[in-house]
Homo-oligomer: A and B are copies of this chain.
Amino acid sequence: MAAENFSFKITHTSDHCRARSGILSTPHGSIETPNFIFCATKGAMKSISTADLAATGAGIILSNTYHLMLQPGPDVVEKNGGLHRMLNWNGPMLTDSGGFQIFSLGHGGVANEIKGRRNFPQNVKSLLKISENGAVFRSHSDGSIIHLTPEISMQVQRKLGADLVLAFDECTPFHADRDYTAMAMLRSHRWESRSLSEFKKSDDGNQALYGIIQGGVYEDLRRESAEFVAQNDFFGQAIGGSLGGSAEQMHAIVRMTGEVLDRERPTHLLGIGKIADIWNGVKSGIDTFDCVHPTRLALHGGALCMPNSSDGKGFMNLHNARFREDISPIDESCDCHCCRNFSRSYIHHLLRANEMLGGYLLTIHNARFMVKLMDDIRTSIQRGTFPGECKKWEISQKP
């Protein structure tokens, strides 16, 4: 049934690299790809409403199964009519399997590791046990013991009701050696097969399942995992697991994985979304990205901007005293609600005064920035000008 309600059509390809543009259709509408998936982690975009987000032109959001399992719980979301209804979001939506957070919290800092950040705080280890059956962990919110298996993940995601759902896998950390990575990958494949079986049991055409390609930093494992996913009846595929210890290694792994995966399927790169990483991902054939970076940066006072207007950093820190009397907008050429109506000086004041409105306005700007970035990327692929456009956006690779 999924085939009727979901489709992915590649409309343009680049002559110079694996970049392609296409249309991903779901029961809640279509998005053009490449595209960026905004994170409504706990069912909210932190400071802005889904209506505000839609006004920026954003087309797709995600929520995290782990967080929603614990609070408010899948039954409450289902009672609310599912995530779309509860969040008042009428476009496409994705949920992850819940695995990432369990293993991230469990192994300590996977989220930092997959992006090559080394100075991360060690999280409290909450992962109690991984077995063939699944994972047992302690809730970070009330300390209760929770089991998560491929079957439970699919049942929970069915209740949450997003359009695109992810198979349950183990996200292995950077510090895992080859043997552990290989063993965990094979177990993840078995979990993904069980996810697919469970998914099919209740498939009513309203959801489509993505398989996850694991294998860490090892080319032969990535190839093996890509082949496993290609051989199974997943609608889409996502690249998960460790992407190495640096931005350069991440780009190399994504490129290498891009060469071995099924080119016909929509391909998502999990948890990646800095500007330079997006250009590099698109170059390797990635269709969708997700990351808390634009919203998190906003809540810390940062406004995304072109590298040439920010010393190559790619963002402007509005806390900086030099903005105190700067009455220009963040970006003269930006058409967002923030830039059309408010000055840098005012945003600086809001941050100094601890007014929530500062983060709100910056979130709107950053969301609009990402929407325009993805639009630039798509247009350049469609017009055959991708390499030149990519150069214009050159941003320091430093995280």
28 contacts between A and B (CB under 8 A): A43-B346, A44-B350, A44-B355, A44-B356, A44-B358, A45-B357, A47-B47, A47-B360, A48-B360, A49-B337, A49-B361, A51-B337, A67-B353, A71-B349, A71-B352, A72-B324, A76-B325, A76-B349, A79-B327, A80-B343, A80-B346, A86-B342, A86-B345, A86-B346, A87-B346, A88-B341, A356-B356, A360-B360
Please tell me if the beta carbons of B357 and A48 are within 8 angstroms of each other in the complex.
Answer: yes
For the complex, give the distance between the alpha carbons of A132 and B299 in Å. Answer: 46
The answer to the question of A42 belonging to the interface, with a C-beta cut-off of 8 Å to chain B, is yes
Closest to A354 in B: B42
The answer to the question of A46 belonging to the interface, with a C-beta cut-off of 8 Å to chain B, is yes
Q: Which of B79, B86, B341, B345 contacts A72 (CB 8 A)?
A: B345
Contact partners of A324 in chain B: CB under 8 A:
72, 76
Give per-residue flags for A64-98: 1 if the beta carbon is below 8 A from chain B beta carbons, else 0: 00010001100010011100001110000000000
Interface size for A (C-beta < 8 A) is 40
Give per-residue flags for A338-372: 1 if the beta carbon is below 8 A from chain B beta carbons, else 0: 00011101101110110111111100000000000
Contact partners of A359 in chain B: CB under 8 A:
356
For the complex, give the distance between the alpha carbons of A348 and B80 in Å. Answer: 12
Nearest 6 pairs between A and B by C-beta? A44-B355, A88-B341, A44-B357, A72-B349, A42-B353, A47-B356
Nearest CB in chain B: distance from A191 CB, A: 28
For the complex, give the distance between the alpha carbons of A45 and B47 in Å. Answer: 13
Which residue, A67, A87, A352, A356, has most C-beta atoms of chain B within 10 A? Answer: A356
Nearest CB in chain B: distance from A354 CB, A: 8
For the complex, give the distance between the alpha carbons of A45 and B44 in Å. Answer: 20
Asked whether A325 and B79 contact (CB < 8 A) given A71-B352, A71-B353, A361-B49, the answer is yes
Please tell me if the beta carbons of B357 and A47 are within 8 angstroms of each other in the complex.
Answer: yes
How many copies of this protein are present in the complex? 2
For the complex, give the distance between the alpha carbons of A360 and B49 in Å. Answer: 8
Q: Which chain A residues (302-356) contact chain B, with CB distance < 8 Å?
A: 324-325, 327, 337, 341-343, 345-346, 348-350, 352-353, 355-356
Please tell me if the beta carbons of A46 and B80 are within 8 angstroms of each other in the complex.
Answer: no
Please tell me if the beta carbons of A76 and B345 are within 8 angstroms of each other in the complex.
Answer: yes
Please tell me if the beta carbons of A80 and B356 are within 8 angstroms of each other in the complex.
Answer: no
Q: Which of B72, B76, B88, B353 contacts A43 (CB 8 A)?
A: B353
For the complex, give the distance between the alpha carbons of A355 and B81 in Å. Answer: 20
Contact partners of A76 in chain B: CB under 8 A:
324-325, 345, 349
Closest to A357 in B: B44
Contact partners of A325 in chain B: CB under 8 A:
76, 79
Contact partners of A51 in chain B: CB under 8 A:
337, 341
Please tell me if the beta carbons of B352 and A72 are within 8 angstroms of each other in the complex.
Answer: yes
Please tell me if the beta carbons of B80 and A350 are within 8 angstroms of each other in the complex.
Answer: no
Contact partners of A360 in chain B: CB under 8 A:
47-49, 356, 360
Please tell me if the beta carbons of B44 and A353 are within 8 angstroms of each other in the complex.
Answer: yes
For the complex, give the distance between the alpha carbons of A213 and B327 in Å. Answer: 38
Nearest CB in chain B: distance from A113 CB, A: 26
Please tell me if the beta carbons of A343 and B86 are within 8 angstroms of each other in the complex.
Answer: yes
Closest to A45 in B: B357
Please tell me if the beta carbons of A342 and B47 are within 8 angstroms of each other in the complex.
Answer: no
Please tell me if the beta carbons of B46 and A355 are within 8 angstroms of each other in the complex.
Answer: yes
Please tell me if the beta carbons of B42 and A355 are within 8 angstroms of each other in the complex.
Answer: yes
Contact partners of A46 in chain B: CB under 8 A:
355-357
Nearest CB in chain B: distance from A295 CB, A: 11
For the complex, give the distance between the alpha carbons of A277 and B51 in Å. Answer: 35
Nearest CB in chain B: distance from A44 CB, A: 4
Please tell me if the beta carbons of B350 and A88 are within 8 angstroms of each other in the complex.
Answer: no
Contact partners of A346 in chain B: CB under 8 A:
43, 80, 86-87
Please tell me if the beta carbons of B43 and A345 are within 8 angstroms of each other in the complex.
Answer: no
